[in-house]
């Protein structure tokens, strides 16, 4: 026994010294620590611990657990399945909705160490495995590619029975990028990724999480390369651009070719001045004289309007036999050129005078006057008229002859010379030229005779009285068919002084009703009374004629004295009238066969014209009331 102790002591001393020599201390193990416990499918779980220092001595670790409802301590059934420092609880050992109190004990030769206990409930520590079978494919949607990612849940997780409900999440990134694009996929196991870069290489990963647990790790990366796809939209635009450019060039070329005609179409040239004889070049030269001299038409305008004949617009051109030609020639020199009349209806450009009422009279008085003429055309009567007219020169009766020419003369255009007489107060105050008045009388007689010599004139259709404003005296109407006999008579009377009112010689005017077929001017004496204008209004036979009334003279009070004529011999003396008065009073009894004779009021007559007027006042301008 002594020998054994003596043998052990050196060993112990050796061991002690060895220990001291190395500097190492042996001790009990340190407390281990449970790092984590996880359950991948809520059926099993694994716990891992971290051992402390082992104290230099081989230490063993043991995991002990206790379930909540019992005091029984169990040791870990499996230390190896889950690796080092782990404890794997299989299905049989795993209960859910049960608190596990787990402790790890480290044991070595010198001591033990207990870890802190951990209470876990399996349902709270679920962390599934990452999803499996990740598949990524490139698919096309109307020409645009997209990625279709599909996967499977971890095979251990029982999602079919509803034991575990997993939600998934995936992430995508380009190979050269650093940032991931996250997509939450919910419970579905498939996902589409759009907006891809043509020709890019993508990385796709997916992970899952139970409804009340932890996220799994990311699955293994899946690589996919998106093929190069041609940008269809761009190609279309390129084509369109090319075509438009082409068309544009063509149009430009066409426009250039037809620029001239287009200019004419769009911007028509402004017509320049077109004046005959106008030379623009002369303008440019600056010689206005030359320019304007070119415009001058020779013989225009007429230098001297002395010849009244030239002023005549129209001429009564009538074919007459030799007899008539002579007469016409004789009467030509009496012409004066101020009157104008419209005879031919067909003549549209007639120089109608202001007092021309040719058409009016023709329409209204034609038929009536025809009758009158018919009645008056009896030779005897006519002769009486003529004689009376002849006497009338002494009777200071003026009648105005209206030459009427039928428009339907067969001789063509009928033009009449203005009337011989000029009753308008255009004359100077000097007495009328006897010569002219004689001529006028002659003409008047001529006209009268011509009328007289036409006993049986057939009525014409439309007749009209054309009034001539005689401004000059020396015009005479064309006498279409004067009789030589009458002509001689007229010549005889040419000496009669009929110029002034005092002479009381008046040339009577004969109204020319019409021109019959035989180119005869039919005249009608105005015998039915004083010139009456009111008759016109009353619609009388002789109404609508502008009659001239004879002015007897002026009294001392500057009153115009007019003379009234009575039909068929009955005469009324002239009646004094107020110049401005409208009413007419007659101091003498005036009986008129025809009720139309009226005295018209005198218009305000200028003093100077009182005598100059050869007794004729235009009743048309007066507004007298009939008093007869």
Partner 1 sequence: MAQRKNDGSKLFMTVLCMGAACSAIPISDLLDRASQRSDKLHSLSTTLTHDLDSHFPPIGRVIMPRPSMCHTSSLQTPSDKEQTLQVSESDLLSLARSLLHAWADPLVVLSASANTLPHPAQSTISNKILELQEHSKSLGDGLDILSGKMGPAAQTISSLPYSGGNDIGQDRISKLINFNFLLSCFRRDSHKIDSFLKVLRCRATKSLPETC
For partner 1, the closer CB: 142 or 212: 212
For partner 1, the closer CB: 162 or 380: 162
Q: Which residues fall within 8 angstroms of residue 127, CB to CB, at 6 or more apart?
A: 38, 39, 40, 210, 213, 214, 215, 216
For partner 1, the closer CB: 186 or 539: 186
Structural contact between residues 361 and 545, judged by C-beta atoms closer than 8 angstroms:
yes
Give residue 172's Cα distance to chain centre: 64
Shortest approach of partner 1 to residue 149 CB, angstroms? 16
Shortest approach of partner 1 to residue 209 CB, angstroms? 13
For partner 1, the closer CB: 157 or 575: 157
Where along the sequence are the contacts to partner 1 (CB under 8 A)?
Answer: 42-43, 68-69, 91, 94-99, 121, 123, 158-163, 165, 187-189, 211-212
Cα three-residue angle 96-97-101, rounded to 5 degrees: 85
Structural contact between residues 362 and 500, judged by C-beta atoms closer than 8 angstroms:
no
Shortest approach of partner 1 to residue 211 CB, angstroms? 6
For partner 1, the closer CB: 49 or 100: 100
For partner 1, the closer CB: 97 or 230: 97
Cα three-residue angle 462-466-468, rounded to 5 degrees: 170
φ/ψ of residue 421, rounded to 5? -90, 150
The span from the CA of 562 to the CA of 398, in Å, is 11
φ/ψ of residue 214, rounded to 5? -110, 155
- Return the residue matching tokens 């009070």: 557
Shortest approach of partner 1 to residue 137 CB, angstroms? 20
Shortest approach of partner 1 to residue 186 CB, angstroms? 10
For partner 1, the closer CB: 46 or 341: 46
For partner 1, the closer CB: 98 or 462: 98
The span from the CA of 34 to the CA of 86, in Å, is 9
Shortest approach of partner 1 to residue 187 CB, angstroms? 6
Q: In 81-220, at which residue ranges do the beta strands (DSSP E only) sit? A: 86-89, 99-107, 112-114, 118-121, 132-141, 144-152, 166-174, 181-186, 190-193, 201-210
The span from the CA of 359 to the CA of 343, in Å, is 9
Which 3 state secondary structure label does DSSP give 199? coil
Question: How many residues are recorded in the chain?
Answer: 628
For partner 1, the closer CB: 69 or 348: 69
Shortest approach of partner 1 to residue 94 CB, angstroms? 7
Shortest approach of partner 1 to residue 68 CB, angstroms? 5
For partner 1, the closer CB: 152 or 607: 152
Shortest approach of partner 1 to residue 66 CB, angstroms? 11
Q: Which residues fall within 8 angstroms of residue 163, CB to CB, at 6 or more apart?
A: 41, 42, 43
Which 3 state secondary structure label does DSSP give 342? coil
Shortest approach of partner 1 to residue 210 CB, angstroms? 11
CB neighbours (10 Å) of residue 568? 12
For partner 1, the closer CB: 68 or 310: 68
Shortest approach of partner 1 to residue 74 CB, angstroms? 15
Give one word for 85, left, alpha or beta, with left for phi > 0 and alpha for psi -120 to 50: left
- How far does the chain reach from its first CA to its final CA, in angstroms? 204
For partner 1, the closer CB: 98 or 311: 98
The span from the CA of 576 to the CA of 551, in Å, is 10
The span from the CA of 352 to the CA of 349, in Å, is 8
For partner 1, the closer CB: 65 or 417: 65
- The DSSP symbol for 609 reads H
- Return the residue matching tokens 């544009």: 248
Give one word for 60, left, alpha or beta, with left for phi > 0 and alpha for psi -120 to 50: beta
Shortest approach of partner 1 to residue 132 CB, angstroms? 16
Lookup: tokens for 330: 């004789």
Shortest approach of partner 1 to residue 97 CB, angstroms? 6
The span from the CA of 167 to the CA of 414, in Å, is 122
Give residue 521's Cα distance to chain centre: 62
The span from the CA of 321 to the CA of 324, in Å, is 5
């Amino acid at each position: 026994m002594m020998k054994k102790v003596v043998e052990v002591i050196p060993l112990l001393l050796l061991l002690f010294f060895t220990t001291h020599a190395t500097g190492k201390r042996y001790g009990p193990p340190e407390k281990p620590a449970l790092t984590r416990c996880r359950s991948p499918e809520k059926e099993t779980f694994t716990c891992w611990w971290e051992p402390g220092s082992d104290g230099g001595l081989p230490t063993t670790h043991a995991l002990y657990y206790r379930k909540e409802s019992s005091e029984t301590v169990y040791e870990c059934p499996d230390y190896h399945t889950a690796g080092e420092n782990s404890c794997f609880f299989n299905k049989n050992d795993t209960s859910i909705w049960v608190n596990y109190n787990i402790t790890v004990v480290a044991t070595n030769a010198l001591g033990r160490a207990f870890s802190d206990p951990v209470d876990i409930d399996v349902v709270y520590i679920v962390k599934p495995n990452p999803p499996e079978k990740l598949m990524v494919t490139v698919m096309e949607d109307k020409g645009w590619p997209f990625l279709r990612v599909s996967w499977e849940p971890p095979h251990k997780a029982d999602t079919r029975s509803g034991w575990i409900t997993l939600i998934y999440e995936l992430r995508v990134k380009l190979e050269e990028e650093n940032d991931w694009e996250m997509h939450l996929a919910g419970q579905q196991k498939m996902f589409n990724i759009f907006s891809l870069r043509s020709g890019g290489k993508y990385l796709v990963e997916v992970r899952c999480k139970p409804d009340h647990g932890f996220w799994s790790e990311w699955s293994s990366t899946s690589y996919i390369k998106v093929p190069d796809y041609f940008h269809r939209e761009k190609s279309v635009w390129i084509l369109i651009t090319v075509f438009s450019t082409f068309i544009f060039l063509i149009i430009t070329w066409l426009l250039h070719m037809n620029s001239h005609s287009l200019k004419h179409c769009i911007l028509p040239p402004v017509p320049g001045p077109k004046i005959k004889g106008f030379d623009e070049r002369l303008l440019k030269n600056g010689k206005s004289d030359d320019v304007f001299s070119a415009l001058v038409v020779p013989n225009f305008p007429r230098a001297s309007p002395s010849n009244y004949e030239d002023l005549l617009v129209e001429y009564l051109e009538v074919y007459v036999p030799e007899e008539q030609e002579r007469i016409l020639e004789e009467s030509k020199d009496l012409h004066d050129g101020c009157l104008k009349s419209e005879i031919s209806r067909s003549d549209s450009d007639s120089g109608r005078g202001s007092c021309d009422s040719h058409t009016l009279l023709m329409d209204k008085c034609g038929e009536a006057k025809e009758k009158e003429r018919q009645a008056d055309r009896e030779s005897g009567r006519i002769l009486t008229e003529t004689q009376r007219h002849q006497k009338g020169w002494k009777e200071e009766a003026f009648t105005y002859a209206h030459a009427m020419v039928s428009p339907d003369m067969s001789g063509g255009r009928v033009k009449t010379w203005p009337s011989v007489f000029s009753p308008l107060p255009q004359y100077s105050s000097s007495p009328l030229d006897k010569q002219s008045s004689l001529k006028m009388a002659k003409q008047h007689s001529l006209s009268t005779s011509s009328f007289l010599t036409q006993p049986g004139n057939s009525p014409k259709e439309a007749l009209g009285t054309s009034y001539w404003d005689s401004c000059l005296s020396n015009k005479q109407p064309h006498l279409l068919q004067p009789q030589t006999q009458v002509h001689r008579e007229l010549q005889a009377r040419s000496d009669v002084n009929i110029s002034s009112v005092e002479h009381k010689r008046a040339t009577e005017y004969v109204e020319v009703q019409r021109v019959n077929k035989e180119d005869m001017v039919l005249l009608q004496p105005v015998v039915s009374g004083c010139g009456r204008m009111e008759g016109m209004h009353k619609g009388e036979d002789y109404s609508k004629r502008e009659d001239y009334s004879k002015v007897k003279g002026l009294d001392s009070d500057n009153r115009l004295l007019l003379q009234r004529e009575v039909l068929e011999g009955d005469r009324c003396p002239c009646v004094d009238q107020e110049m401005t008065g409208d009413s007419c009073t007659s101091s003498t009894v005036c009986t008129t066969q025809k009720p139309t004779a009226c005295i018209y009021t005198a218009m305000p007559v200028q003093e100077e014209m009182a005598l100059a007027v050869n007794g004729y006042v235009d009743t048309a301008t007066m507004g007298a009331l009939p008093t007869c």
